Structure formats: structure tokens, C-alpha cells
A and B are shown apart, each in its own frame.
Chain A
């Protein structure tokens, strides 16, 4: 929708070309996580990677984040080859990994603080994102004392507060109960519409994928590659019970069944 409004053809912002990745196996030999992995992401696009458990979704994000490098092939972001982690690529991790020694505020302002942003300015910025994820009033709480859903919100606020160009989200709502999950998806869409970013969002939940995505890539099992691609043109905010939504859901589920 959004892309049509601007009327311009957006350039490929992230390019994964012929990516192959192997890990040494515990005994001997190599385990191939990804092979012939090719895809691109446009600027400000919300891309969902949808694949079965253990198919290599986290591995793909780790390569784009620069935590691991592809064994062969290349990944470029904005024309620059990824050679390691960088502040322009933010990550919301699959398991919450807040710093337990810092308060909610301390965690969220962490990025700007590392970059040397002054206290007043970074507090203001952090407060903005804390409000955005609906955690006002919890600034001085420590991570051990807040719920799982709140931790995920802090993780999202922390990643956003560093103002990355690309946001990598690894099943951020995976451990939440259904109700909280819906709320978080709604909120994420609101945030994304206000603060446009290129997002790669990983999930193994088809409804979540359909609710969020501009485009969905269906991944195969290990070694993973792109099995199918769906452009989702449904208007936002989306409705889980909309007939078009349900039709797409059925169609994609069938493809996935064949993948498994």
C-alpha cells in the first residue's frame, strides 16, 4: 500500500546473494544451515521470514546482523557488504536479553549512551520509546521484576531507541500468550507506521506473518532457502477474519505443508 502511495520504485536495500552457511558439527563434518539463499528487501519494507522451527531463521538474522558471516555468498545492506555488527542494524532477540543490572530506562537508553549522546537528550529519546511501547511508569523497574510481555516491549524499545536503519526481529512475540501477542502485533504496526524502518521479522506463526507483512518469504527446512514469496496487499490494520486474509492463510499453509 505504502509503496504505491509514494509512487516510486524503491531500490533493493538489503541483498542476500547465493548465501550458504555451515557450522562445524559436534562430532565431525559440517552442518549446512542455509544454501542458495537469495532474497532482497526494499527500503522501509516490512518483510516476514516464515519458516518451520529449527529451519535456520535465527541463523539468517545473525548473518544480516553480522554476528556470523556467510560461509560463501554475500549480504549487502545499503550497498555495503556486511562484515560485522553495526549500529545501523538493530536486533530484537528471540529470547529476551535485557541487561539485568540496568533498569528499564537504563536498558532503553543504552544505545545512545554507548554512542556518547548526552544524558538529557538520550533520556528524552528513551522516554519517547518507552511511551511508544506503553511502559510509562515502569522506567525504574528492573528486568527481573517485570513480565515476559513487558520484557519484550523493553527489548523493542531498546532496539528502536538506537534508531537503526534496519530492524531485525527474531520471533519477538514467540513466548507470549495469544492475547498479549495480538496486542503486541497491533502496537508494533502502530510503531512501524510512525517510525518507518526496514524490518525483517521472523515468525513461525502464519497469522502473525499475514497481519504484519508487506511481503512474506516462506523458507524450507535445513539447508534453508526461499521456497515461495507472497506480496500481501491487504489494507492495514488487518482483520484476522477478513475473507482475503483467510484465503491467503489457507494458500500459504498448504505451501508450508508441502515444505515440511
Chain B
């Protein structure tokens, strides 16, 4: 029943995609309303994509090299942010003293949007890998701390009581009750911060970089190559959703009994 339904919906989406592509083709190559200097046709985009796979012109690197550069920065900053942010949020929520100690600094950092860290980081570490990885890291830490923190805080009192009537220690209450309670929120943090990291890297590369998908788009804009801009946009979208896959799989696996 459920399988049938999702298959049906998939067909609906496919129809929409084909329709949009057709309209796009019609207004470009079909009727020639737009020239390829303003809006290139879908076919031209595919051609530009294939060419950019091997051609380092006009911005000094192939599409793969740009993508790899962006991915390296995003994944390093993001993973480090997750590994530090989640435990930090948990510790802050569970131990009041840790909360009091960390909170003043944390509240100061969290109010500054990720992209606003770029200029200062560029001054400190240049426009290479490090500055942007740190910016991504900060954003990821903030989102993961907040979500892990609220998740733990939202643990139901009565669930903790159940644990207490079983003689659970404070550590068992945290790991066996508060942590699973917080799981949906933690997943939420993982997703939000990944989306944030991907947005931030592109924005940062538009501002200050010599490599990366954002940089490629920025260069293409300077020399009026809308085909490369659009290729870049598609790559951003597709890679962004592929990155979400492992998180969704983890979510499905742990929440196989239904949401809570």
C-alpha cells in the first residue's frame, strides 16, 4: 500500500521535471526567445557540463577539482563540528556547571551568522582551506550544540522516573534514556548543519577563494558564461542532496519503530 503510493508520487515528480525541461528547451533552442548568452538551453548545459569535466578553462580547474576542493572543506569543517558539537550540547544539557561555564562564550558565537566570519578568518588564515573550514566548523558546532542541548532537555520527566525506579545511575539515565530521547533532535541538527555548511561554503567561495564550486560560478559570471553558472548550480543541488543520504539512512535505521 505504502510502496504503491510512493511509486505513484515519483511518477508525478518525473512528469513535472520533463515538463519544465521541455518549456526550458522551447523558450531557448525551440523558439529562440532567449539566446545562449542569457539563458542557455538544457542541451547546452549538458554540453558545458561534459566539457567542464575535463577542461580547466576558463577558471583554472576542472569541475571535479572544484567540487573536490569544496567537498574537502565542507566535510572537514562539518565532521569536526559534529564530533565536537553533539557531545558539547549533551554535556551542557546534562551538567549544569558545564552549561554555566560554556554558555557565555557560546551565546556570543551563535549570534554571528556563519558567513560573517569569513572576512576575519581570511585576515587570520588567508583564502585557502583553513579559513573556510573554520567558518564551516563554527556553524556546524553551533547548530549541533543547540539541537543536542534541546533534545536532552526535552527528555520526559516520567521516562527518567522509570529509569530511577529501575535503579539506573546518572550515567545510565543519560546514555540509556536522555540520549535516545534526544535522537530525533540530534538528527535534526545533523541535517540543518549540513545544509548550512553547504550554503556557507558556496557563499564563502563567492567572496574569497581561488578554487571551488562557488569560485567557478563567480568566475563564470565575470566572463558572462551562464552555462557554467547553471552547471555549478546543478552540481550544488545534487551534491547537497546526496550528502543528506547517509543521515536519512541513519535516521530510518534508528527510528525504525516510528518517530518520537
Residues of A within 8 A of B (CB): 65-67, 84-87, 89-91, 93, 95, 97, 99-103, 110-111, 114-115, 142-145, 158-159, 162, 164
Contacts and interface: CB of A to CB of B under 8 A. Distances in A.
Interface residue SS majority, chain B: helix
Interface in B145-163: 156, 158-159, 161-163
Contact of B258 (A91, A111, A142, A159): A142
B164 interface: yes
Given A85-B161, A114-B172, A114-B176, A101 B260 contact: yes
B26 interface: no
B260 A100 contact: yes
B165 A95 contact: no
Given A89-B165, A93-B158, A101-B180, 16 more contacts: A84-B164, A86-B167, A87-B167, A90-B165, A97-B162, A99-B162, A99-B177, A100-B257, A100-B260, A101-B181, A101-B255, A101-B257, A102-B257, A114-B166, A144-B260, A162-B166
Contact of A162 (B161, B165, B180): B165
B168 interface: yes
Contacts of A65: 161, 165
B169 to A, nearest CB: 8
Interface of B: 156, 158-159, 161-168, 172, 176-177, 180-181, 183, 254-260
A102 B159 CA distance: 12
Lowest 4 A-B CB distances belong to which pairs?
A142-B257, A87-B167, A85-B164, A100-B260
A85 B161 CA distance: 8
A251 B13 CA distance: 69
B158 A97 contact: yes
B258 A100 contact: yes
Given A93-B158, A99-B159, A99-B180, A145 B165 contact: no
A110 B176 CA distance: 10
Q: Which of A99, A102, A159 has the most CB of B within 10 A?
A: A99
Contacts of B159: 97, 99
A248 B172 CA distance: 47
Contacts of B168: 114
Q: Which of B162, B177, B180 has the most CB of A within 10 A?
A: B162
Contacts of B177: 99
A97 B172 contact: no
A95 B159 CA distance: 11
A67 B162 CA distance: 10
Nearest to A65: B165
B161 A87 contact: no
A38 to B, nearest CB: 25
Contact of B166 (A87, A97, A100, A145): A87
B257 A144 contact: yes
B161 A103 contact: no
A85 B183 CA distance: 26
